[in-house]
């Protein structure tokens, strides 16, 4: 009897549990489907989305009205996964905000069945594919922000049905084609329009002049719009800034309304444009307009009848000549004065007292006092200090200078920045030591600040700087030794060696991901948001498990500070390496030297002109490395009797629609089943090597895209 009662109790409890589980309403079930499509939730944002609740109204990111879900807002939570079509069943949903996550895949057309949807904000993810035609169903849509994704294709013609649209932001995608017909006539309520950094083409629609509610900047820059600028754009509000830079526009710039008196910066990057405010005159205007070096004024300038003596006629020739002569005389006087003061400063700076220090005031001569300038002692290396001990940069450094000097040394490579040695201590610890030079003893404080900042960087994909040594005649950097050479040798083999084992696709993908993670750390997580500035395969080293490690970060600046002649033979360690040990590392040196000759091809085009380094330089270099790893080719490709760089060769292959097999490294033939992944990486590489730096994705964006590609074993 007791057993029977226990059985009934068990059945009753099971029924109760079933009732609890089944109590969640339909909207909650739909949201759980969305949760199940999320593969990564590092912050546990969706942890309280439980099936035991009656409604989802208490869940994180959910807002309800009268027990119906009206808002889904989960921004900046690093969610990774696809967008579930189940969201389309939330009939009262008004707002969706999933910005700055790591979502990917195509937008489900079901989402656009929500006729009451007012805002869809998805920027800063990795969505791809086109904008579904069903977007035209959203009669109440006011905000559509799809910026900073990988969307492509043309805008659907149905978009113009969203007549309540106020904010349209599609920047930094791969949208192409012309804008839909009657774009401006139908979307007259638009207050913000940003189409920049896409591949839109065709002429700019003249009906954009109907957008009288626009505010701020209308950004059409960095596209492929062609033809003339429609004069109707002048009908836009005068306070609106119209950015048309970097397109293929041509013809004269209209001079009316919002277009008049705009500076040239709104039109640069369109070689075919002419007329004010640009310097290149239109052929029909060459006689009517003043010389191109003059500023542009409206046709009613100067005002008529302004003053006695015909004030509108401006300055006379005699007055202009007098002003110019006065300016020249003034400049000459200032130059002579500067030259005199400089010579006096140099003379008195050479005056020293018996102790060897510069006087703060020079001797009086002719009753005049010569003021001398002396650098603050804290800015220079003390003249009395000629030698510093080995300086460790972390607590794990257990060796000292004597041990380093007694160690065996082998030359690993040579470059214009110095010699690299493999150093084996008596206890078996292996280090890499880079010698910077023998001169430059006056900038120790600057060197110390820079090298200790680099020494604080700790990331599994960046070579660790363990210690440094400074003296008047020697500067050394001591790193962890990375055993499997560099990426250049791994891709192309070492010169002189017959045997060569090519990298598998899984190994290459692992290396790509590692380098991306290291660059994300430098760009976003390091204290100063650094730029590497000289990324190439020869300074990507490979560890025990072929994990990638970025080396040589900050090396150029340190070498510049250290000065000296880095290629001279070292007094401390090179003698040992030259006693016959160099031959054992000859192939390494050859690889180092040969790959270094391609270094300039990894530099972004703008790096030759710009002064301040940009993270976009690293992204271009990274894209070049990806192309090299995928194609197996060097940065300079032989095409018939001519040569072209790898980026232009790839563009040529795409234009000629060559089969993928002609592009991929033949050594990857055994991994043909992973061709889709290779093509995905190829697309990332082409995005990274865009000629315009603004069109290149961020390193975080790239790393996230690569992480979604599985690392197959093999």
Residues annotated as catalytic (active site), given as ranges = 534
Which neighbouring-strand residues pair with 415?
418
Distance from C-alpha of 563 to C-alpha of 419, rounded to nearest angstrom? 14
Residue 31: name the closest of 16, 46, 44 by CA.
46
Locus of tokens 């006629």: 313
Roughly what angle, to the nearest 10 degrees, separates helices 505-520 and 615-631?
Answer: 180
DSSP state of 52: T
Residue 80: name the closest of 106, 105, 109, 102 by CA.
102
Greatest Cα pair distance, the chain, in angstroms, is 126
Strands 143-145 and 167-169: parallel
Which neighbouring-strand residues pair with 104?
126
3 state DSSP class of 208: helix
Residues 6+ apart with CB under 8 A from 261: 277, 296, 298
- Residue 398, classified by CB atoms within 10 Å of its CB into exposed (0-12), middle (13-18) or buried (19+), is exposed
Residue 407: name the closest of 566, 580, 576, 568 by CA.
576
Distance from C-alpha of 90 to C-alpha of 111, rounded to nearest angstrom? 9
Q: How far apart are the first and last CA of the chain?
A: 62
Distance from C-alpha of 509 to C-alpha of 708, rounded to nearest angstrom? 11
Strands 199-203 and 224-227: parallel
Distance from C-alpha of 561 to C-alpha of 448, rounded to nearest angstrom? 10
Both tokens assigned to 506: 């899984």
Which neighbouring-strand residues pair with 250?
272
| Residue pair 489/575 in contact by the 8 Å Cβ criterion | no
Residues 6+ apart with CB under 8 A from 596: 415, 538
Cβ neighbours, 10 Å, residue 631: 23
Distance from C-alpha of 613 to C-alpha of 113, rounded to nearest angstrom? 47
| Integer CA distances (angstroms), 509 to 155, 261, 483, in order | 33, 52, 20
Residue 661: name the closest of 507, 627, 653 by CA.
653
Cβ neighbours, 10 Å, residue 387: 11
- Residue 358, classified by CB atoms within 10 Å of its CB into exposed (0-12), middle (13-18) or buried (19+), is middle
Residues making up the chain, counted from first to last? 714
| Residue pair 359/347 in contact by the 8 Å Cβ criterion | no
What is the enclosing helix (H) or strand (E) of 200? strand 199-203
Both tokens assigned to 276: 């004010």
Distance from C-alpha of 156 to C-alpha of 143, rounded to nearest angstrom? 17
Strands 418-424 and 430-437: antiparallel
Sign, Cα dihedral of 420, 422, 423, 429:
positive
Distance from C-alpha of 20 to C-alpha of 27, rounded to nearest angstrom? 16
Locus of tokens 């992204």: 619
């Amino acid at each position: 009897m007791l057993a029977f009662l226990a059985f009934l109790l068990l059945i009753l409890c099971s029924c109760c549990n079933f009732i609890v589980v089944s109590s969640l309403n339909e909207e909650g079930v739909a949201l759980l489907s969305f949760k199940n499509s999320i593969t990564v939730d590092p912050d546990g944002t969706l942890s309280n989305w439980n099936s035991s609740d009656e409604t989802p109204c208490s869940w994180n990111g959910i807002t309800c009205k009268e027990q119906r879900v009206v808002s889904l807002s989960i921004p900046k939570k690093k969610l990774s996964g696809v967008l579930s079509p189940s969201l389309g069943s939330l009939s009262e949903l008004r707002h969706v905000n999933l910005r700055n996550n790591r979502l990917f895949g195509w937008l489900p057309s079901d989402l656009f069945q929500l006729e009451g949807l007012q805002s869809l904000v998805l920027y800063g993810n990795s969505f791809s594919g086109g904008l579904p035609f069903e977007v035209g169903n959203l009669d109440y849509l006011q905000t559509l922000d799809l910026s900073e994704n990988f969307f492509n294709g043309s805008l659907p013609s149905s978009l113009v049905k969203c007549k309540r649209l106020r904010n349209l932001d599609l920047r930094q995608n791969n949208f192409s084609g012309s804008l839909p017909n009657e774009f401006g006539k139908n979307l007259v309520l638009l207050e913000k329009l940003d189409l920049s950094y896409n591949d839109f083409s065709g002429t700019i629609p003249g009906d954009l002049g109907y957008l009288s509610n626009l505010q701020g900047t209308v950004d059409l820059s960095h596209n492929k719009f062609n033809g003339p600028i429609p004069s109707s754009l002048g009908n836009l509000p005068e306070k609106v800034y119209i950015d048309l830079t970097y397109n293929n526009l041509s013809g004269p710039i209209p001079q009316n309304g919002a277009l008049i008196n705009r500076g040239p910066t709104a039109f640069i990057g369109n070689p075919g444009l002419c007329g004010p405010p640009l310097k290149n005159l239109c052929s029909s205007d060459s006689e009517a307009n003043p010389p191109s070096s003059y500023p542009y004024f409206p046709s009613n300038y100067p005002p008529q009848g302004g003053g006695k003596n015909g004030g509108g006629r401006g300055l006379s020739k005699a007055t202009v000549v007098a002003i110019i002569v006065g300016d020249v005389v003034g400049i000459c006087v200032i130059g002579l004065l500067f030259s005199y003061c400089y010579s006096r400063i140099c003379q008195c700076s050479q005056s020293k007292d018996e102790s060897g220090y510069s006087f703060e005031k020079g001797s009086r001569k002719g009753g005049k006092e010569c003021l001398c300038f002396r650098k603050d002692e804290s800015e220079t290396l003390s003249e009395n200090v000629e030698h510093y001990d080995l300086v460790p940069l972390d607590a794990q450094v257990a060796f000292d200078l004597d041990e380093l000097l007694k160690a065996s040394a082998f030359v690993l490579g040579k470059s214009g920045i110095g010699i690299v040695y493999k150093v084996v201590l008596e206890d078996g610890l292996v280090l890499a030591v880079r010698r910077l030079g023998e001169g430059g003893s006056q900038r120790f404080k600057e060197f110390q600040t820079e090298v200790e900042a680099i020494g604080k960087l700790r990331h599994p994909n960046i070579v660790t700087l363990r210690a440094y040594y400074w003296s008047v005649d020697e500067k050394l950097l001591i790193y962890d030794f990375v055993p499997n050479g560099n990426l250049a040798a791994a891709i192309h083999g070492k010169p002189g060696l017959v045997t060569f084992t090519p990298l598998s696709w899984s190994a290459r993908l692992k290396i790509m991901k590692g380098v991306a993670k290291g660059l994300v750390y430098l760009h976003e997580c390091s204290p100063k948001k650094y730029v590497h500035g000289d990324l190439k395969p020869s300074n990507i080293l490979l560890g025990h498990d072929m994990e990638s490690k970025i080396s040589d970060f900050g090396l150029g600046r340190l070498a510049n500070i250290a000065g000296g002649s880095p290629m001279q033979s070292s007094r401390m360690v090179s003698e040992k390496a030259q006693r016959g040990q160099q031959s054992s590392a000859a192939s390494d040196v050859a690889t180092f030297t040969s790959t270094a000759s391609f270094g300039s091809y990894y530099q972004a085009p703008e790096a030759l002109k710009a002064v301040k380094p940009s993270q976009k330089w690293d992204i271009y270099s990274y894209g070049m490395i990806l192309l090299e790893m995928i194609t197996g080719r060097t940065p300079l490709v032989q095409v018939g009797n001519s040569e072209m760089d790898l980026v232009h060769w790839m563009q040529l292959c795409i234009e000629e629609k060559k089969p993928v097999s002609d592009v991929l490294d033949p050594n990857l033939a055994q991994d043909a089943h992973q061709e889709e992944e290779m093509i995905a990486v190829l697309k990332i590489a082409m995005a990274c090597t865009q000629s315009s730096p603004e069109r290149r994705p961020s390193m975080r964006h790239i790393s996230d895209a690569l992480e979604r590609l599985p690392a197959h074993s093999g």
